Structure 1
């Protein structure tokens, strides 16, 4: 049988039996007051239990599809989840990953002001909105003048 055929089996250990063996050997070889024996037993038992516990399951380290610093370009943003080039990231995150922009930023350690829209696209949309009259206050009316009526 080769080493490749061996499978690692979980080791079952009687912690109490091993603890008593270790403590008995220590007490035989060392002068220890009787009052210190319970602390010695607890210490050995605790050490054995911590050694025998399976390692905690760690979450796999996150690896973005592209470098975070190279994910924002003038005409598109690269999604760190799947590497797609998008003008707007918010809808993509919700539809494909069920994430909000805040969850996405937290997951990847991005700043709270990390853009969800490509800079040129945002500027273009801003121009369209401004040309349609959005973002401006209506002109001030002289006092006493009533607003125009919708009735004819």
Structure 2
């Protein structure tokens, strides 16, 4: 058996393992199964060919897109296009820091990570609880009034 045939058979075996593991845990339509097999085989063949994957450059957000991504009630994520009150948890789950997110999408350093409405709501809550105010000095219990 030639090296090329052996490599092809190994890729085919691994493709079968991956697809069967996926299909055993997920519901698939018959037409989706064919596409899954083709896609996995192509990805495995590309990975084994020694070619380095081309990193796709992410398009930087335009000024218009940046303005539109900030609404009063939510921030629209450039990663998945969904609205979030705060981006920190969303970015953490994707393995990004706020600085890395800003750099990736070409956002200014002052781009907010929390929506304005949510920030205002949290600020009002903190004020109502008395947070951020210095505590008033109380007179010790045994101190004289001066009378």
TM range (shorter): 0.5 to 0.7
Count of matched residue positions in the alignment of Structure 1 and Structure 2: 87
Q: Sort the Cα spacing of 1:111 and 1:117 in 2 relative to 1 into closer, same or farther, 3 A.
A: same
With the length of structure 1 as denominator, give the TM-score of the two structures: 0.51
With the length of structure 2 as denominator, give the TM-score of the two structures: 0.52
User: How far, CA to CA, are the matches of 1:68 and 1:81 in structure 2?
Assistant: 13
Aligned CA-pair RMSD: 2.4
Matched with 1:60 is 56
Larger RCO of the pair (alpha carbons < 8 Å, separation 6+): 2
Residue 103 (structure 1) aligned to one of 100, 105, 110: 100
CA deviation after TM superposition for structure 1 residue 133, in Å:
1.2
Residue 122 (structure 1) aligned to one of 93, 113, 119: 119
Alpha-carbon deviations, 1:26-62, whole Å to 9, x = none?
xxxxxxxxxxxxxxxxxxxxxxxxxxxxxxx974331
User: How far, CA to CA, are the matches of 1:112 and 1:140 in structure 2?
Assistant: 40
> Which structure: larger Rg?
1
CA deviation after TM superposition for structure 1 residue 121, in Å:
0.5
User: How far, CA to CA, are the matches of 2:58 and 2:68 in structure 1?
Assistant: 16
Greater share of helix residues, 1 or 2?
2
Alpha-carbon deviations, 1:53-87, whole Å to 9, x = none?
xxxx9743313689223110001000011101011
